[in-house]
Amino acid sequence: MNVFSSFRNNTMLALDTIRAHKLRSLLTMLGVIIGTGTIIGVGSILTGFDGAVTNVLKSFGPNTIIVSRTPAFRTGDLTPEQRARKQFTYESASGLRENCGSCALVSAMMFPNHGPIVTKYKGNAVYQTRLQGVEESYARTGQIDMDQGRFFSDFEDRHHAPVAVIGADVVKGLFGEENPIGKKINSDGLELEVVGTMHRPSASFFDQSDNRVFLPFSSMMKKYPNARDMALIVTASDGMLPQAMDEVRTMLRIQRHVRPNKPDDFSMSTAEQMVEQFRQITAMTFMVMIVLSSIGLLVGGIGVMNIMLVSVTERTREIGIRKAIGAKRIDIIFQFLLEAAVLTGLGGLVGLVLGWGIAMASKLVFTSLPTTVPAWAATLGIVVSVGVGLFFGIWPANKAAKLDPVTALRYE
C-alpha cells in the first residue's frame, strides 16, 4: 500500500508540475510527440500498404508461376544484362504446354509495343487502357472473375477473332448502364466485339482502375506483328509447384540455349517470392522510419533532461525539506524519474493521436489502403516515449538525490 500511495502521490505531483508550466511542458514534449506520431503514423501506413500489396500478389494464386524476360517485381532499373535478354516467343509457351508434366496450364500473354492505348465506343473514351493478348487457358488460371457474357474460346483464338473481354472501369466509362455484350468498341484502331465483362479484382493497388481489355493472343499478334513483349503464365498441378519450376527452368534454358555455367536469362516468380521481395523493401523502409523517429525522440529526450535539470534547481529547497523529514535517496530518484516518465508518456499519448490522424488522412487519400493503427505500433510508441523519459531523467534524478540536505535547505 505504501508503494502504491507513493506512486499515486508522485504521479499527482508530476501532473501538478506539468499544469504549472504548460507551455514549457508542451515544448519539452514536442520532440517526443513528433517521434511517437511518426512511428505510429508510418507504421500504420506500412501495415496497410503491406496488406494491400500482399493481397494483390497472392491473388495470382499459390500455384502460379510468372515467367518473364525481366523480373516481374523489381525495385530498381534494369541491368545491362537484363535489357539484352532475348524476348520470349509463342513457341516457348507451346513447348512448355506440350512437355511440362507438372504444368496444368500454360498461357502466353502479349503486350502492345507502345502506349497509352485509347478505347472508344461512340462518343465515349477510356484512356490508359491496358490492352493484352491472352490465350483461352488464361481464363482458367484464377486471374479472371467473369461478370457478364463469357471469355473467348480457343476456336476464336486460333481464328484471330476480333472479340474482347473488358474490365469493370472500361464498362463504366464506355457504356454506363447500357449492356455492353455484343457491342463494338475501338481499341487503338482495332474494332472488337465485346463478348464478356469482368469484375474488378478483389485486391488492387490503391484503387487502381480496372482498365483491362483482353483479346485473343492470335488477334494481338495480327494487330501488332512487331510486338515482342511477352510473358508466360504457368499454373502448376496441385502440390507440384517446385517440380513445375524445375521443369520450366530446364526447358527454357534448353530453348534459349543457355550454357550450363551461365545464369538464367529470364525471370521466374511466384506469389510467395514476390511477397518476400516486397517485405524486404518494407523492412528497409521501416528501418529508415525508426532512424528518423529516433532523431525526434533524441531531441525530445534532451529537452526532457534539460527541463528536469532546471526543475531540480528550482526545487532544491523542496528536496532539502523532503530529505530532512526522512526521504531516502531512492525516494528522490523515484520522484524525478516518475515526473520525467509522466511528461514523455503524455507526449506519447498525444503522439498516438497524431499518428492516428496521419493514418486516417492517408485512408482518405488512398481509400483502398486499410490503414489501421496496429497494436504493436501504439504499444511501441507509448513504451518508447516512457523509456525516453526514464533514460534521460536518470541524470537529473541522480543529481537531485545527491543534494546535501543542509546545503539544499540554505538554497535561495
**Amino acid 197: pLDDT:** 94
Task: List, as one string, the DSSP characters of 170-188.
Answer: HHHHHHTTS--TT-EEEET
What CA dihedral angle connects 260, 266, 271 and 273, to 10 degrees? 50
Query: CB 235: neighbour CB atoms within 10 A?
Result: 23
Q: Is 133 helix (H, G, I), strand (E, B) or coil?
A: strand
**Amino acid 56: pLDDT:** 64
> What pLDDT digit, counting tens, does each position of 304-329 carry?
888 878 777 777 777 777 777 777 77
**Amino acid 205: pLDDT:** 46
pTM comes to 0.62
DSSP 8-state assignment for residue 273: H
Please give the single-letter amino acid code of residue 226: N
**Which grid cell sits at 253?**
534454358
Q: Are 220 and 133 in contact (CB under 8 A)?
A: yes
* Burial environment of residue 19 by CB neighbours within 10 A (0 to 12, 13 to 18, 19 or more): exposed
**Amino acid 277: pLDDT:** 73
The rounded distance, in Å, linking the Cα atoms of 401 and 394 is: 10
The rounded distance, in Å, linking the Cα atoms of 283 and 36 is: 19
92: nearest Cα among 220, 234, 260: 234
**Which grid cell sits at 231?**
510473358
Q: Which residues of the chain carry a pLDDT beneath 70?
A: 1-7, 9-10, 13-14, 52-61, 73-76, 115, 202-208, 366-370, 405-412
**Amino acid 155: pLDDT:** 92
**Amino acid 206: pLDDT:** 44
